[in-house]
Amino acid sequence: MQFQIPQFIEVENKIVGPLTLKQFLYLAAAGGLSFLFFFIFSMWLWLFITMFMAVIAFAFAFIKYNGQPLIRITLNAFGFFWKPRLYLWQREIEEKIIEVPDFSVETKRKNLREYFSGMPSVKRLLVDLMTSKNPIPKREKGSPRLGITSKERLSAFRKLTGEKEISRRVDYR
């Protein structure tokens, strides 16, 4: 199934001759105000106001800067000058009072010794893992998925880059 993709969507349709609807409305508004001012002001003032409005209407209708119509640039400029540009953000400070019980150093050490007494020594565990000839229970089991049986031995070594790698150990005796 084929669909038509709209192209040139940024180009406005020409409605009144070579003018788009916006261009025509800018020029028509200036012409209408000029017609109204003809009956209100004297001739020299009417000419001055009409020339000023015609220049503004033609500028809004036809001038684009960096692909943006002049009316949008003008509205953004007025918004920039009208709105405040200084933003201050101050964090709200919530005061919380936390009471810390008074522990002496001896009490802290005693509590830590009791807490860590049931745990194995990390240094001893590391040494056992790196240098032990006997397997650590429930740690070194053969894996049928990897093709390693319990009779095969694995050896850990360091590469020149410092990475550790574990490989099968082969004895040619």
Q: What is the pLDDT at residue 7?
A: 82
- Split at pLDDT 50, 70, 90, the class of 37 is very high
Average predicted confidence (pLDDT) for the chain: 79
Q: Please report which confidence band the pLDDT of residue 55 belongs to, taking 50, 70 and 90 as the band edges.
A: very high
Q: Where are the domains of the chain?
A: 14-82
Here the tokens at position 137 are 């229970």
- pLDDT at residue 168 greater than cutoff 90: no
> How is 9-68 classified by DSSP, letter by letter?
TTSPPEEETTEEHHHHHHHHHHHHHHHHHHHHS-HHHHHHHHHHHHHHHHHHHH-EETTE
- What pLDDT is attached to residue 141? 53
Neighbours of 49 (CB within 10 A): 16
Contact 26, 49 (CB under 8 A): no
In this prediction, residue 111 has a pLDDT band, given cuts at 50, 70 and 90, of low
pLDDT of residue 51: 97
In the prediction, which pLDDT does 135 show? 63
What are the pLDDT digits (tens) for 69-89? 999 999 999 999 998 877 777
In the predicted model, what is the mean pLDDT of residues 57-74?
A: 93
The mean pLDDT value for 97-119 works out to 65
Percent of the chain with pLDDT over 90: 35
